[in-house]
Structure 1
């Protein structure tokens, strides 16, 4: 099963977190969440839109910290997982999950303080259109991630169920310019790809992570990083 059909299947939604964020994947989950919080800062009383929210990992995390947040996704099965997660966390009053198309966001201009999209742009068929919509509904900030073309991810990228678009840094800058966004900050991480960490126990992942960050901290290592987080501001 490929593409949108794969992503929207009930069994994929039910197993999504367990397959990606158990074992060494827990390390990925912690690092991604920290990247979001570092970029946004205090979220209490901020209005946030998360594009392609999936099972609500980031949506619920921000709601727990006081954000008023909308999680939007194309998959009703993923949204159901997010609603259950929000209810369990007791943040139903801070979060709304809705099905929608990120290329035609059902919100007026300048509606949210911050718009977040994690694990999205590598799947986006028309990235300029999506970025333009994110910039349109944001008053201040757009935060997103990409998987990078000059990285270890190329070794297995074609084997993924939904495929994946890998970005060069010049391409990201062009994408931002086209949407009238200005890059405020960027982080580049994970020389070892996500798929590697998911295959090993959590305790072992910590050992490899120390090696990973040591390599990534070098001038060559930063260029080899497989993941980038981009913090942009509305001009």
Structure 2
């Protein structure tokens, strides 16, 4: 995995949410959570694993809606931030944070209804191996996102601390075929890159998001979207 040392640093975990999901980054957070919920609904009583759960943005949301969730991450510092979010929380479902390696998941086969991996595959050095392991522990569904090769993200990718692996649609389709997964739905979004949104106040980001949404949703413009949200099922 790219950038493991950087990712596991205490100071990165402490600043992670504020740097990415404050200001205009709130719009990114909202859209990502919407994509996950739309793919999984109904959430209540589902058994869900999130790998690379970070500070628990999705794990806490899903547990609060009645799912039984395990959040797994390699970073102890990130997991500690996630646990702090749940202190005193009255969640409808259950939530456990667990430190572990996404390449060797400590669960038996077919253990979860759904496996979620958001903000993960852009760091994967061997995406097929990770996807196979996710498939092994899932009995129904895998939900994940990818950053797209033909997007604005490629322009500033070199400046990111960990860089990004960028994917074409055909590359992801090939990964699904190799791992015996069936595509249920894919949604493309964010013509403007994430970095732009999180660098400006929400009041400025909202009009940009309105234009972005209006231009998106078409075959031509979707080809240049920064991110794709993939909803897949086991064959």
Shorter-chain TM range is over 0.9
Q: Hey, what's the Cα distance between the residues in 2 that align with 1:219 and 1:89?
A: 43
Aligned residue for 1:64? 64
The reply to whether residue 131 of structure 1 matches residue 127 of structure 2 is no
Conserved in 2, the CA contact under 8 Å of 1:216 and 1:224? Answer: no
Q: How far has the Cα of 1:163 moved from its partner?
A: 1.2
Aligned residue for 1:4? 4
Give the root-mean-square deviation of aligned CA atoms: 1.2
Aligned residue for 1:36? 36
Aligned residue for 1:203? 203
Q: Hey, what's the Cα distance between the residues in 1 that align with 2:93 and 2:192?
A: 39
Aligned residue for 2:218? 218
Conserved in 1, the CA contact under 8 Å of 2:192 and 2:212? Answer: yes
Q: Hey, what's the Cα distance between the residues in 2 that align with 1:112 and 1:93?
A: 15
> What is the correspondence of 1:7-22 to structure 2 with a 5 Å cutoff?
7-22=7-22
Q: TM-score, normalised by structure 2?
A: 0.97
Q: How far has the Cα of 1:93 moved from its partner?
A: 6.7
Count residues with an aligned counterpart.
234
Flag structure 2 segments of 5+ consecutive residues without an equivalent.
none
> What is the correspondence of 1:54-93 to structure 2 with a 5 Å cutoff?
54-91=54-91
**Superposed CA offset, 1:93-150 (max 9, x none):** 7100001111111111110000000000000111111000011110100000000000
The reply to whether residue 106 of structure 1 matches residue 106 of structure 2 is yes
Other structure's SS at 1:103 match: coil
Conserved in 1, the CA contact under 8 Å of 2:45 and 2:93? Answer: no
> What is the correspondence of 1:140-219 to structure 2 with a 5 Å cutoff?
140-219=140-219
Other structure's SS at 2:184 match: strand
Other structure's SS at 1:171 match: helix
Q: Hey, what's the Cα distance between the residues in 2 that align with 1:89 and 1:191?
A: 36
Other structure's SS at 1:49 match: strand
Q: Hey, what's the Cα distance between the residues in 2 that align with 1:67 and 1:87?
A: 18
Flag the structure with higher helix content.
1
Conserved in 1, the CA contact under 8 Å of 2:49 and 2:112? Answer: yes
Other structure's SS at 1:89 match: coil
Q: TM-score, normalised by structure 1?
A: 0.97
Other structure's SS at 2:228 match: strand
Conserved in 2, the CA contact under 8 Å of 1:66 and 1:94? Answer: yes
